[in-house]
Amino acid sequence: MKQLAIASALVLLLGSCKQTTAKKELTIQPQEASYVSLFDGVSFNGWHSYLGGQDLNGWTIEDGAMVFDPELKTKEGSANLVTDQEFTNFELMIDWKISEGGNSGIMWSVVEDQKYSEPYLTGPEIQVLDDAKHPDSFVGEGTHKAGALYDMIAPIPAVKPAMEWNHCVIRVNHHTNEGAVQLNGVTLVNFPVHGEEWKAMVAQSKFANWDAFGVSQTGKIALQDHGNKVWFKNIQIKSLD
């Protein structure tokens, strides 16, 4: 009876966890020679403001990095940055650092349309966060921590402290229905990117009633204005088509 009770408790504990892991874990092994640069380190060529064109509203370049500084904003509303190009199956490498207590994000499959006021209404997000001091770190059963598939899968801890650079690799492959995130050499999460398993994860998240969220397989990559200073550099992408 004691063994049965322990087994039952273990089943209940595992069933209560919100984290979902793909059946086959994907380990990312980037090959930099096959990547194409998305940022030349000196200009915003290839990028624009979501729904705002070339009015970047708070984005500047410092020491070879894209920087969003909310104190430099001249207009109300969000100032998210998106690629000119759209992508479907890819591996994205990007280095980021966040200000103390800061919050931002990296999104993909973003549909840029006037009917969607924010990129997060359509594009899934990988969280960029100061885990030590931002309140989001302590909610959502870990699904809001740095490296999380935001509000869906909690990551393995691997983030560096605020104001230190993190090396991030994001893979999205609809051919194999595999997604993965690596941070500082550690594979944090694995997940499906479409189909019934994907729909089930969305249904259990805050996005459950957002009709356009995570639906499009093709879209733009977005860097989020969440009101805090954030830096991005060494942005490269490899097509998996």
The answer to whether 127 and 150 are in contact (CB under 8 A) is: yes
Q: Is the pLDDT of residue 25 over 70?
A: no
Between residues 177 and 1, the one the model is more confident about: 177
The pLDDT value recorded for residue 140 is 84
Q: Which amino acid is at 182?
A: Q
Q: In this structure, what CATH number is given to the domain that contains residue 102?
A: 2.60.120.560
Please give the share of the chain, as a percent, with pLDDT higher than 70: 86
Residue 7 domain-assigned (yes or no): no
Is 163 within a domain?
yes
**Residue 12 falls within a domain, yes or no?**
no
Instruction: Tell me the β-bridge partners of 191.
Output: 179
Listing DSSP states for 188-239 in one string gives EEEE-SSHHHHHHHHHTSTTTT-TTTTT-SSBEEEE---SS-EEEEEEEEEE
Expressed as residue numbers, the domain containing 201 is: 24-239
Q: What is this structure's pTM?
A: 0.87
Residue 15 lies in a domain: no
For residue 141, count other CB atoms closer than 10 A to its CB.
13
Residue 219 falls inside a structural domain = yes
Look up residue 106 and give its two tokens.
């990296």
Task: Give 62-103 pLDDT, tens digit per residue.
Answer: 999 999 999 999 998 899 999 999 999 999 999 999 999 999
Into how many domains does the chain fold? 1
Q: What is the pLDDT of residue 17?
A: 40
Task: Answer yes or no: is 3 within a domain.
Answer: no
The answer to the question of residue 19 being in a domain is: no
